[in-house]
A and B are shown apart, each in its own frame.
Chain A
Amino acid sequence: MGVFVFIVWGIEYLDIPLDRLFGMFGRMGSTLANRYYPPDIEYIIDADYFQYVIETVQMAYLGALFGLALTLPLGWFGAYNVTPSRRFVYPVARFATMGFRAVHEMIWAILFVSILGFGMLAGVLALTFFCAGFAGKLLAEEIEAIDMGPVEAMKATGANLFQVVIWGVYPQIRVAFTGIGIYTWDVAFRAATVVGFFGAGGMGWYLKRNVQQIETERVAAILLSIVALVIVSEIVSAWARARVMKMK
């Protein structure tokens, strides 16, 4: 009931023209059939485009890698049970993780483009921050769920902070961290296909150009290629995840 009231109020508030809704499906169908079909496949079977695809993959790879590197301290400091200082480091790490994650990857991309100029460096950094926020939360939650026995035992032997983390915490989260890494790569790749939209390199730039030139058949082809690539990357990561699970 409350949901219903909210829907009505929301539609009223946003001033949504409901009459457009009825014509929408017909119009969407004709838009698709007339303008986006047939996709211009020839346009994407092209060495130039292929190079952009490779660059997108590299950008996602580096972004995920740097992001995961940033995640290690963030996850460590942001896990309540092993953080070096609960009063100072923990809230800072938590807030940084939240901030990184809350700001959408597109906004990161725009900011970095405006600071560093066009190019893939901006894209890599945008993906790095995005991945750090995303994986940092997962890693912190994973660390909070570990068995504290070994950690206590290590502390009792007089091990210092780093020794505790390396020998007491890391072995327990190794497999989970690998899983998070694979997942992060997946997400980073999806984001990488579009960060170029605002000038941060990769195939997003192709997409933007053709969208703005209203070359809809080429846009359709590019979208198809993105879907195909994402499906491939999903198959690869599913395979990798299955292997990791077997190692467990």
Chain B
Amino acid sequence: MNSVASPSDQARRDQAFESLLLLRRKSNVRRSAYYFVLLALVVWSIQVTIIDDTDWERMGSLGAVLKSAGRFIGVDIGLFPSLLVPAIETLVIASLGTILGVVICLPATWFGALNITPFKSVTYPLARLMMTLSRSIHEIVWALFFVAAVGLGAMAGIFAIAVRSVGFIAKMSAEAIEDINPGPVEAIKATGANTLQVVIFAILPQVLPQILGTVIFEWEINIRRSAILGLVGAGGLGLVFFRQMHTFNYHGVTSVIVAILALILIGEVVSHYVRKSII
């Protein structure tokens, strides 16, 4: 069977090789077309957003820009003592918001996990809609809405954060529940348990670490969010930031940013240890 290739064989092989080359050339052409389109998009976007829309005259030379950036260098040390209370406020708003968010999440998660949702055709899309709505509206917008509904103050901030975190927590939790091992669920159902018992004894033990991890992660993000809600009247560090900015106390602005960084650092350390102790 290992005879010399006949001429027709050779021709066939050549043909196959040719078509392979052609295919490769085609995909190369397509790839460069992709890159070209991407590049054109970049150039167009730069043209519209950066070159046309910027008031270069007003911005002045590079030196002027550096000078106005330089105003922020320096920390107003005297401001720090008065930052303590707003910082704690920010932390508490973030924590309470996360807790309330978890409470709101319970139905959303239950309805949003395909394997335990009660009326698949109604509740599943409803939960998905809730999650998308919660995630797609920015926290500033939620805060504006709640400030209009419940008035200025920390409450609006808590609600805004709670509603905003529902989407992420519920989505991750629902996905965790969809991935569980169905064995224990079947086993507990076979003993005649009702739905609630199935959830408590078969589902929760399997997903609790994952859900707690998600909640901690969201809490960390919420600190960052609650630090700016004061910009629209929901208390905390954002309010101080706003005031410092409006009184042109640029060093004070830097101090507030330093305080926010410190808070985030604390949040990161706490969440690191909590997550380690869970897993």
Contacts and interface: CB of A to CB of B under 8 A. Distances in A.
A116 B65 contact: yes
B29 interface: no
Contact of A20 (B99, B155, B257): B155
Contacts, number: 150
A110 B254 CA distance: 12
Contacts of A62: 42, 45-46, 49-50
B55 interface: yes
A231 B150 CA distance: 28
A31 interface: yes
Contact of B268 (A14, A20, A98): A98
A177 interface: no
A104 B222 CA distance: 11
Contacts of A21: 150, 155
Task: With a 10 A CB-CB cut-off, give which of B89, B92, B138 has the most chain A CB atoms.
Answer: B138
B136 A226 contact: yes
B272 to A, nearest CB: 12
B276 to A, nearest CB: 15
B235 A14 contact: yes
A220 B50 CA distance: 30
A194 B141 contact: yes
B88 A24 contact: no
Interface string A59-73: 101100100000000
Task: With a 10 A CB-CB cut-off, give which of A104, A117, A119 has the most chain B CB atoms.
Answer: A104
Interface of A: 3, 6-7, 10-11, 13-17, 20-21, 24, 27-28, 31, 55, 58-59, 61-62, 65, 98-99, 101-104, 106-107, 110-111, 114-121, 123-124, 190-191, 193-194, 197-198, 201, 207, 211, 223, 226-227, 230-231, 234
27 contacts: A13-B92, A14-B155, A14-B235, A16-B155, A17-B155, A21-B155, A28-B149, A31-B149, A55-B49, A55-B53, A98-B261, A104-B260, A106-B228, A107-B228, A115-B69, A116-B59, A117-B55, A120-B48, A121-B49, A124-B50, A190-B136, A197-B140, A201-B49, A201-B53, A227-B132, A231-B136, A234-B132
Given A13-B88, A13-B89, A62-B42, 19 more contacts: A10-B96, A14-B92, A14-B153, A16-B154, A16-B155, A59-B45, A62-B49, A98-B264, A99-B261, A104-B224, A104-B225, A104-B260, A114-B245, A120-B50, A124-B49, A207-B141, A227-B136, A230-B132, A234-B132
